Amino acid sequence: MLREIEIEVTAEHIKNGRRGSCGSCPVALAILSKLKHIPYHGSKNVDINSVVVHVSYDIVRFYQNYPNTQEVTAPPPEVGLFISKFDSASPVQPFKFKLAVPANLIA
């Protein structure tokens, strides 16, 4: 089941985001900040989370116990525009958007 929540991409997310990275871009970091972080038991490294988010221009994938369980949702158009600008090193500003996310992942 999906539940719509507000996601805020902050200046901190922009500063820490990586260009060209579907899992570490500012949008992915903002989404992850709203989710439960559950230790990933498939690895010896307990700092890895079992929730992985991949963001592209028109789709957001949520993986639980990566890469086994996947749910997909569509972000609003402004997310794709932001990613395009960010990846091309154009100036971007913090913004908010609504996104449907798996309800069991919401912190």
pLDDT for 50 equals 67
Would you state the pLDDT for residue 16?
Answer: 96
Low-confidence spans in the chain with pLDDT less than 70: 37-50, 65-69
Supply the pTM of this predicted model.
0.86
List the one residue out of 5, 9, 11, 67 whose CA is nearest residue 36.
5
pLDDT on residue 68: 66
* 3-state SS class at 85: helix
The pLDDT score that the predictor gives to residue 47 is 43
Helices (H), the chain: 11-16, 26-32, 77-87
* Torsion sign, CA atoms 43, 13, 55, 69: positive
As a whole number of angstroms, the distance between CA 14 and CA 30 comes to 9
pLDDT value, residue 106: 87
